[in-house]
Amino acid sequence: MGFFNKLFGLNKEQKESLDQGLEKTKTNFFSKIAKALVGKDTVDEEVLDQLEEALIGADVGLNTTVAIINKIESRIKNEKFIRTAALNQVLKEEVMAVLTDAPSHEFETFNLPKDKKPYVLLVVGVNGVGKTTTIGKLAYNFKKNGKQVMLGAADTFRAAAVDQLTIWSERVGVPIVKKEMGSDPSAVAFEAVQQAIAKEVDILIIDTAGRLHNKAHLMEELSKIKRVISKQLPDAPHEVLLVLDGSTGQNALEQAKHFTAATQITALAITKLDGTAKGGIVLGIANQFNIPVKYIGVGERMEDLQIFHKEAFVDSIIG
Amino acid sequence: MFDNLSERLESAFKQLKGEGRISEINVATTIKEIRRALVDADVNFKIAKEFTDTVKEKALGEKVLTAVSPGQLMVKIVKDELALLMGGDASELDIKNKPTIILIAGLQGSGKTTFSGKLANYLKTKQGRNPLLVAADVYRPAAMDQLQVLADQIKVPVYIDRETKDAVQIAKDAVAQAKRDGNSIVIIDTAGRLAVDEAMMQEVAQIKAAVNPNEILFVVDSMTGQDAVNTAKAFNDRLDFTGVVLTKLDGDTRGGAALSIKYTVQKPIKFVSMGEKLDTLDVFYPERMAQRILGMGDITTLVERAQAQFDEVQAKKLEKKIRANKFDFEDFKEQLNQIKKMGNIKDLLAMIPGVGKAIKDIDISDDAFKGIEAMINSMTPFERNNPERIDASRRKRIAKGSGKEIADVNAFMKQFEQMKQMMGQMNKMKGMGGMPSLPGMPFGK
């Protein structure tokens, strides 16, 4: 497994958990292409058609799928033919090329940049994608890695959202800054940043209410939260994390577009990838917005929130 | 909603313009466009293919009558086919039994708890029932608190047992209590679960076996992608649910999941849910949805919402005032409140045929009327009742009080005058009854 370690930056356990989480995806994806490959030496139209269907079926989206297929087609032309045995490799390479690299490798093990303290992480997304759960798991993983974590409960809207985050803070054993339901989320963010500075924590993770991206006033509220944070700490928030549900279809592109307009998303977290959903939207978003995926959720356990490694991800999907 | 799909179909139909008969050649591009549009809207690609094949078969050789263009004919064929696919007539809940037991199931984050609250509210206010909400999610932190808060808001009793960590037992106990207390409906909100999670699927199957529900509703996020088919199938195989609920339908685009699910499991979509206000739950009408998909608007739902908020006594009073040309700012404010009660303004406007597309990229927030309200609120009761007495110094004070510029107040006063004039003209036209429209309404100030 030493080889895997180096290649993917994951330990054996993590890779296994990833493979396990994405197993459904993989089986499904391959059974489709395998049928078209029976009795063939080289990749032909039929194989490409199957591949196209498999990609669309994985929520990769029409545009990105066509882009990938075109690239493979032109490779077939240039390299005369591609043996079916090599199709996997070619597909992996092309899919990898679409995925955006995360700008920094400092995060590979839930580390933080030393010159940014407290590191402020603002978490946003539509309703029901798993923001609060993701925050709980992030807190656990950062704490496990020796970081001082603080949570800010700026979802003052959804019924019992503050309670839910409070339970997580108790479970993980980290402090939480909160106000009563219905109070101004910007005020919560303000106080959280102040306390994070005063208590000299390493990372402050701020939860926000789920909002549909086409509600202009809610998006404006998000911009305001961000402004309030920046006023106290000029380079904060250091990260604005958009959480996406892995089973979401093409609407994820709209979400990325509108949230980016309101808060300049710097990274993505994709949740619920342990179901049968393929999370192909990752490719679509990377292709159109250049926003890197940083975290993926592949299971219920705390450890199942992982740092995203594109090689490992592609390897787990395509095999 | 479905804006993109309608747009894509519209452009696809344009290609048929000017042709006299639908033929293999002229229909090919259109069919391809329809298929792409459907896939883009997250309709499962296999289903999109089958759907367009059917449409093509029906369209081929159709003679285009002089009265309709080929495009219009295609719209009709596609619309009929869509409505057929999404399932005949509206399907109501079966709530004859006493108590009627409704089991709510679905993936994590699909909106089960919010929907449970909405359903309880709907059955209480619209059907005069007396529902009991049951918190059977023993896993997600604070899930019980969430249901408790919602239940308090709509003043419906809720069964919560924080000690028993067994969802099956909780469901059984709750039903027993409902029978004792005489609740006519029991709504059991369960934990979110993945279809591949064997233990969790077993749990919900056990709940079903224990309480023998009359309705099992599968709640699904309308933004779900291609996987909607697999999830719906897996839940249906296990639970044989009686209906589907589409949530978060107030987002933009798609809704393709609705087609895919209906096509795959052949179960009716019983409700569509939009927004977080507990009174925005709509019964699903396939015909209306098909019309929406094709950009034909959804005027029926709009009218129903208006009727639900319509207060006849108020309206009579208002009509009298308008006839006497005495419409003032108090009345205006009342009208604004009526409109706001109907729900999100952009959603409302999008239901008007042809408007959905036009306002797609325009931001109209629920706060659109805030500026106007602030100005009216800054007026004294005397000023509100006597708009003509608002002079320069009063305007100055109103501007200050509402945080607006004098120019804003002037513009608003002018619009109000114009509106009054138009109402006066309407007065002169005989036989014009009912609610006056609000011309010149300034948006986005």
Tens-digit pLDDT profile for residues A221-261: 999 999 999 999 999 899 999 999 999 998 898 899 889 98
Mean pLDDT of chain B: 80
Give the closest-approach CA distance of A10 to chain B in angstroms: 25
Provide the 10 A C-beta neighbour count for residue B205: 15
Strand partners, B216: B103
Query: Number of Cβ pairs closer than 8 Å across A and B?
Result: 151
CB within 8 Å of chain B, chain A residues 165-204 = 166-168, 171, 181
State the complex-level ipTM. 0.84
Nearest Cβ partner for A249 among B196, B225, B234: B225
pLDDT at B430: 42
Contact B225 A128 (CB under 8 A): no
Q: Which of A97, A70, A128, A134 is nearest to A251 (CA)?
A: A128
Contact A128 B248 (CB under 8 A): yes
Contact B226 A245 (CB under 8 A): no
**pTM of model > 0.80:** no
In chain A, residues with a C-beta closer than 8 Å to the C-beta of B225 are 59, 247-250, 252, 277, 280-281
pLDDT(A146) > 50: yes
Residue A205 dihedral angles phi and psi, to the nearest 5°: -110, 120
Give the closest-approach CA distance of B252 to chain A in angstroms: 7
pLDDT(B204) > 60: yes
Q: Which of A172, A136, A100 is nearest to A305 (CA)?
A: A136
pLDDT(A8) > 60: no
Give the closest-approach CA distance of B189 to chain A in angstroms: 15
CA atoms within 13 A on the CB side of B421: 7
| B314-336: b (≥16 Cβ within 10 Å) or e | eeeebbeebeeeebbbebbbebb
Assign A25 a pLDDT band (cuts: 50, 70, 90). low
Going from the C-alpha of A102 to that of each of A61, A106, A139, A307, B410, the distances in angstroms are 22, 10, 20, 10, 53
pLDDT(A89) > 90: no
pLDDT(B358) > 60: no
Helix (H) or strand (E) holding B163: none
Q: Does A160 touch chain B (CB under 8 A)?
A: yes
**Burial of residue B273, with CB atoms counted within 10 A of its CB: 0-12 exposed, 13-18 middle, 19 or more buried:** buried
- Quickly tell me which residue has 């049951």 as its tokens: B134
d(CA A236, CA A193): 9
Q: Are B64 and B73 in contact (CB under 8 A)?
A: yes
Residue-wise pLDDT for A52-80, tens only, equals: 888 888 888 888 898 889 988 888 888 76
d(CA A241, CA A268): 5
